[in-house]
A and B are shown apart, each in its own frame.
Chain A
Amino acid sequence: MFEGYSLAELGSIFAMQGFAGLILFSVFVLMALGLAIIFGQMGVINMAHGEFMILGAYVTYLCSTLVSQHAPALFPVYFFVAMILAFIASGLLGMLVEWGMIRFLYKRPLDTLLATWGLSLILQQIFRSVFGAREVGVVLPDWLMGSVAVTDTIEVPINGLFVMALTMAITVVIYVVMFRSRWGQGVRAVMQNRTMAGAVGINTEKVDRYTFGLGCGIAGVAGSAFTMVGSTGPTSGQLYIVDTFLVVVFGGAQSLLGTIASAFAISQAQSTMEFFLSGSTAKVLTLLTVIVILMLRPQGLFVLKVRR
């Protein structure tokens, strides 16, 4: 497929392809971070993760509509406000769900799967009733559209760079919160040994609620960011859920580093194969590889060493 191209042309295509892989990596990390906290740290299988993302996307849609109607001058920066509001909306809903449903099911992990799946159906139908069955178009500020020309032939999409920067920022924040703060220490203590954590005076119920809320909030931010690259409709959340679980499970459920490593591996494999093979074949091969590796290493790529 490369006959008739100059070296320079090929070089720039591969450079752009490298960026395509990095962007896919950022997207995967962003969608998996929230789930890594909820599934990895709390052990809750949250099938409604995609719907929390779409809630964030709809908040962004509302913001874009309101701002363009009432304060067009602020339009270029509305996206940042929208992401914060998306975090708050999804986070609050997450805490509500934890309080109303999840906390009764901590001892029955498989039931959370069914319950959250039901929740995802309910949320989808609510989105459909409120926003209509059709997809909505989120208008983006001009500076987020288009691409940067690095050289004459290499062009990099701006929204891709934005997602990369956002992913890095959120990853750093999560790392600091989970591993460098007192609160994060509490979360990890509760997850490792709930009874003992309670005995030393940690309010485990409160920790659970905020952890779940944090995970859902991050899902909301991810959903908000994905309005730049994907669709916003009642069932759009379903598009992400499989890849999200794949990344988290493959990485080793309890390790944030594992999530990042697995997102990197899967995204690079997929984007490289997509380039050389066809889209569907690439997906099949990626899934097959993941299955084989999980058969050899059921616990995932990285495992926390915990004394049981």
Chain B
Amino acid sequence: MSSDKTSGGLRSPFRRKLLLGMAALPALTLLPRGAIAQALATDAVNTTKLAVTDSTVKVGILHSTTGTMAISETGSVQAEKLAIAQINEMGGVLGRKIEVIQEDGASDWPTFAEKARKLLVEDKVAAVFGCWTSASRKAVLPVFEQYNGMLYYPTFYEGLEQSKNVIYTGQEATQQILAGLDWVSKEKSAKSFFLIGSDYIWPRTSNKIARKHIEKNGQKVVGEEYFPLGHTQFNSVINKIKLTKPDVIYASVVGGSNVAFYKQLKAAGINLEKQTLMTISVTEDELLGIGGENIAGAYACMKYFQSLKNPNNEKFVAAFKKMWGGESVIGDVTQAGYLGPWLWKLTVEKAQSFDIDKIAVASEGIEFKEAPEGYVRVHANHHLWSKTRVGRARMDGQFDMVYETADLIEPDPFPKGYQ
């Protein structure tokens, strides 16, 4: 229902731009090609019996809308639906309207695998946008490889993975970590770091990379601590932080623990305006629950912030709020979710085919110039070239960007010397 409203609103700006002939926008330059492609016979663009007809193409959205992970995955679902609505508004993909089949992974990894199988085998969808945690991605990966599907995965993650059947639209670990550490070392003349994270693969792998990088630069890690998911009492470790007096607290605590950690940090008298804290796990979504007053002053290392000032982003934020309400916030992963459908559309139109094998090959070098984060390009390893940015948390739950890398950072899911 709400998507209809949005599409009506989007039409006029796009049309005006088209009239102005802003040919630099790839999505628009592709529009005439899409119109020609309508003439392409379905048999020609779909040789593997995917759910493609002369006028429609089916795709899947596979996220948790119930259970613990719903808190994080809701934003991704919204962004993907927004992108699909916008694409349909512009005439769809190869002249075919996108139809969404949404499945609920219910925060349960076997359920993710089962729903992925359903989407690929029964619905024969041309692409799936979904998964959030690494555990859910690992659960569906064999399914996508067995039935040759295509997954667009939006979350920043620990790397150490690459598949023909997955496009990773979030950052892998080195993209998120290295530039941020270099910045904080230079800006704050940091010599010592205290690493703290939740106890599972992503924080542990990320901290491993961070530690190598810190030690390579001749700096010191004065503490490295992990807590079970859902841990709510951080007073002891906060005392340890006080004892070791690190220049930088480097945090990758996730979920409900996050809120407890920052509230207790503040209560213990650690003022984040004075004590430098850098986190790789707090986006605008998490800020809502933590409360701006508890975390203001902390630095987050991401590739996207809602407050980014560029025309693409302003348009994206306005469209998102129009579709999902003025109160909604957009975090790093939500933006990466938005990239998925667009990258898929551009790839299909480059390949002139919905066939998975052709898309897997054609993905390399796909550019999306209208990305809210700026400009992204798909690497041969199916990850994205993108910038690393550092933002400072504000009281009102947004970030002020204080640094961005000059160039796009090359994705390196298997970093040498960091294993």
Contacts and interface: CB of A to CB of B under 8 A. Distances in A.
B232 A229 contact: yes
A232 B289 contact: yes
Given A20-B235, A145-B267, A155-B268, A275 B288 contact: no
Interface string A253-286: 0000000000000000011101100111001000
A23 B236 CA distance: 10
Contacts of B65: 133
A5 interface: yes
A157 B267 contact: yes
A24 B259 contact: no
B256 A239 contact: yes
Contacts of A272: 236
A233 B255 CA distance: 10
Interface in A1-53: 1, 5, 9, 13, 16-17, 19-21, 23-24, 27
Interface string B244-278: 00000000000111111001101111000000000
Nearest to B265: A157
B361 interface: no
B66 A128 contact: yes
A236 B243 contact: no
B267 A274 contact: no
A109 interface: no
Contacts of A170: none
Contact of B264 (A155, A157, A233, A235): A157
B103 interface: no
B208 interface: no
A238 B228 CA distance: 13
Contact of A17 (B233, B236, B289): B236
B312 to A, nearest CB: 25
Interface stretch (B41-49, B68-76, B154-162, B313-321): B68-76
B139 to A, nearest CB: 20
Given A160-B235, A230-B256, A147 B267 contact: yes
Nearest to A228: B263
Contact of A146 (B70, B71, B232, B267): B267
B288 A149 contact: no
- The residue in A125, A239, A240, A272 that gathers the most chain B C-beta atoms within 10 A of its C-beta is A239
B269 A147 contact: yes
Contacts of A125: 66
Given A137-B288, A233-B289, A155 B269 contact: yes
B242 interface: yes
Nearest to B67: A235
B183 interface: no
B230 interface: yes
A236 B230 CA distance: 8
B9 to A, nearest CB: 24
A293 interface: no
Given A134-B289, A279-B199, A231 B67 contact: no
B225 A230 contact: no
Given A134-B285, A149-B269, A279-B199, A240 B232 contact: yes
Interface in A102-143: 125, 128, 133-139
B71 A233 contact: yes
Given A16-B239, A20-B236, A229 B267 contact: yes
B227 interface: yes
Given A13-B239, A125-B66, A128-B66, A135 B256 contact: yes
A231 B289 CA distance: 7
B291 interface: yes
A138 B285 CA distance: 15
B74 A137 contact: no
A199 to B, nearest CB: 46
A74 B190 CA distance: 43
Nearest to B226: A280
Interface in B365-393: none
B288 A229 contact: no
A280 B228 contact: yes
A158 interface: yes
A159 interface: yes
Contacts of B231: 239, 279, 283
B240 interface: yes
Contacts of B68: 235, 238
A229 B264 contact: yes
Contacts of A1: 243
- The residue in A21, A147, A231, A275 that gathers the most chain B C-beta atoms within 10 A of its C-beta is A231
Interface in B264-304: 264, 266-269, 285-286, 288-293
The 10 lowest CB-CB distance pairs between A and B, nearest first, are A135-B289, A231-B259, A20-B235, A157-B267, A137-B291, A147-B269, A279-B227, A274-B236, A133-B70, A231-B256
Interface of A: 1, 5, 9, 13, 16-17, 19-21, 23-24, 27, 125, 128, 133-139, 145-147, 149, 155, 157-160, 226, 228-236, 238-240, 270-272, 274-275, 278-280, 283
Interface of B: 65-68, 70-71, 74, 199, 224-228, 230-233, 235-240, 242-243, 255-260, 263-264, 266-269, 285-286, 288-293
5 contacts: A134-B289, A135-B256, A157-B269, A229-B264, A239-B256
